Structure 1
């Protein structure tokens, strides 16, 4: 949802940085891998230890690398098919590490089983949201939009983690359960979108076959 409103504004900030990085001879794929490695390492190091204040800040820094690789691709005038697959794969790794780290903390030192359950639901539902879109696009169908996409998942999870870290009661529990419900809802939204897209594509395909 945020992608519809914030992308142009974010691009105005990241595009100059992307051009500068390209001018330095750095490849977008390198930025993608570094950002993902940093996110995974930070999530699985800080979160299970209960370091909930520093973890969101470090993770956010590395997550922002995901904005820069796209800006670099635009600066070069084109992306590559491999870069697109790598970026999508790395996004799934980073998201999985974040929610796995939260579940690890909640089921371990945090001793909050319901929060751990919510984190696991967010992990699975978030992966399915992205998978539905990728699989639909592979079939030539549309699965865009939905209540919560990657940006919303990251913002809610990281903000809830930070607030929990500074002592706001139930901040992470409320954030993750709301996110879990919204993610499951988004899976349903995308399935409906794919169904409608397939219904509209079928008559067009039938018409084309009749003409030929």
Structure 2
């Protein structure tokens, strides 16, 4: 939802990015320093129950981390490695924030609420992974009512107010985040599924495979064998008939020869 204000935020951060770029700090260095500060604030203050001071430290380094994109645009150092590093460090920072809150609540004896914080951590990872995986497959997945910016604002504001003594604010915020993160996961699943189904319907059907010569030969052989067998049978029958006729004629000739022989013999 807050992605719509990013162009305006970029225009505001560009002058600050020019000032920071003059110091010679690279965008990747800003990303690493910002993540290290978030880790220090989340894991150094939250587990001890010092939520307010932890939020102050985290907020300062989150704002500093937002300058990496502005510095990259000003200096022309936009790269795929920088984008990969920034996205990965964002996941590390989110995990540190929710883990620190979870540990602080568990030590305070609020085991159930600590479990809700753990669920928010896992759901946030799934939300981010679903978008990254969809974009890797060539789909768009810029949907959801609880993206990273919304989740970060809600948890930091609620944790800071809890550190100031406002009751139930952190409990309500964690339950709301759990529900909103679940809805966001469902939205991204539905969006990617719709694109995948549309892609399948528009894809042309694969042509039927043509029969191979090996598959045709068994069908040709029976007909050839049948014609050859028929011709062979005709030849055999002709030979048998010829043999019978020849045999019959030879017998009659022998019979006449015997008659002539017996007639020519002198009588006693």
Q: What's the counterpart of residue 71 of structure 1?
A: 70
1:96 maps to 2:95 = yes
Deviations 1:164-184 (A, max 9, x none): 111111110100110111001
In structure 2, the CA distance between the partners of 1:19 and 1:135, relative to structure 1 (3 Å rule), is same
Q: What's the counterpart of residue 180 of structure 1?
A: 178
User: In the alignment, which of 192, 198, 201 is matched to residue 199 of structure 2?
Assistant: 201
1:84 maps to 2:83 = yes
- The 5 A counterparts of 1:1-212 are 1-4=1-4, 6-77=5-76, 79-108=78-107, 110-204=108-202, 206-207=203-204
Secondary structure of 2:59's aligned partner: helix
> Are the equivalent residues in 2 in contact too, given 1:115–1:172 (CA < 8 A)?
no
> Are the equivalent residues in 1 in contact too, given 2:41–2:58 (CA < 8 A)?
yes
Deviations 1:34-64 (A, max 9, x none): 0001101110000001111111111011111
RMSD: 1.6
In structure 2, the CA distance between the partners of 1:51 and 1:142, relative to structure 1 (3 Å rule), is same
Deviations 1:51-107 (A, max 9, x none): 111111110111113311111122123511111110111000000000000000011
Query: Partners of 1:25 and 1:134 in 2: how far apart?
Result: 31
Structure 2 residue runs of 5 or longer lacking an equivalent are 208-268
Query: Partners of 2:168 and 2:117 in 1: how far apart?
Result: 14
Secondary structure of 2:94's aligned partner: helix
Larger Rg: 2
> Are the equivalent residues in 1 in contact too, given 2:33–2:65 (CA < 8 A)?
no
Query: Partners of 2:89 and 2:166 in 1: how far apart?
Result: 31
Query: Partners of 2:91 and 2:2 in 1: how far apart?
Result: 18
Query: Partners of 1:202 and 1:160 in 2: how far apart?
Result: 44
Misfit runs of 4+, over 4 Å: 207-210
TM-score when normalising by structure 2: 0.74
Query: Partners of 1:85 and 1:202 in 2: how far apart?
Result: 30
